[in-house]
Amino acid sequence: MPSHLRELMRYRELLRSLTWREIHIKYKQSIMGILWAVLMPMIVVSAGILVKYAASRLAHTEFNTTEVASISVRAVPWAFFVSALRFSTGSLIANTNLVTRIYFPKEIFPLASVGSQLLDFTVASGVLTVLLAALRVGWSIELLWVPLLVLLLVMLVAGLGIFLSAAALFFRDVKYLVEVFLTFAIFFTPVFYDVSLFGKWAKVLLLNPVAPILEAMDAVIVDHQPPELMWLAYSAAMALVILAGSYSFFKRSEPLFAESI
């Protein structure tokens, strides 16, 4: 594996070029342009606020700005995770002409898809910062956790994207299964809710490796508290295992790609 990583580093300029190509293709002839980067997270935020508001009215409890901030902080990274996984899964299929004709590390395609979504995530995060300021969410030293949390999320989605891109090349229905999974995954991920609401079942929800990351985002940004280190360590371990395992599977499968196209 170290030799494969060194080879990937030699092609880092190609990775950068393909990332920008992905960005250009996505926004070419688009009326809204980069505003799409803001629209999708805002749709998730709006849906979450509507659900929380309806629940608070039914329960006759107060719906406050802290809940709006909490949903927003969780929705932006979740939107990045969903879009990055969706685009990376189909990345090899979308570039079959390059997969068969030119030699270079093919994992560049799913990684470029994840990289292109990072631009959207950066733009959406800027809008989120303005929103949090308007909601009077303050700053604290706990914000230093944010880069690590983003890194863990990127590692996790990159590992899943690498694995699923290869799997989708061999079995084309994988792409459709991923779409179905992403449609319902939000109900099992703490985007609209806090896992503490589920009592003893909270640990089951936290087995989803994305869940501790979103919980930690909410804790350090909104509540100004350190994350739960045990669950964060679990997410970090899962991200490393998934990334390493997926990369190993990808490189073993790479010689068979041409036969599956």
- Residue 46 is predicted with a pLDDT of 78
Residue-wise pLDDT for 94-109, tens only, equals 888 777 777 788 899 9
> Does 210 score more than 90 pLDDT?
yes
Residue-wise pLDDT for 11-45, tens only, equals 788 888 888 888 777 777 665 666 666 777 777 77
Number of domains in the chain: 1
Q: Which domain holds residue 109?
A: 2-260
* Total Cβ atoms within 10 A of residue 60: 6
146 pLDDT band, cuts 50/70/90, is very high
Average pLDDT of span 249-258: 86
Average pLDDT of span 2-9: 74
- Residue 33 is predicted with a pLDDT of 61
> Does 71 score more than 80 pLDDT?
yes
Rounded to 10°, the helix 146-170/174-185 angle is 150
Full-model pTM: 0.89
Most confident among 49-58, 170-179, 251-260 (mean pLDDT): 170-179
Task: Name the nearest CA neighbour of 161 among 86, 94, 104.
Answer: 86
Decide which of 50 and 170 is more confident.
170
Residue-wise pLDDT for 218-227, tens only, equals 999 999 999 9
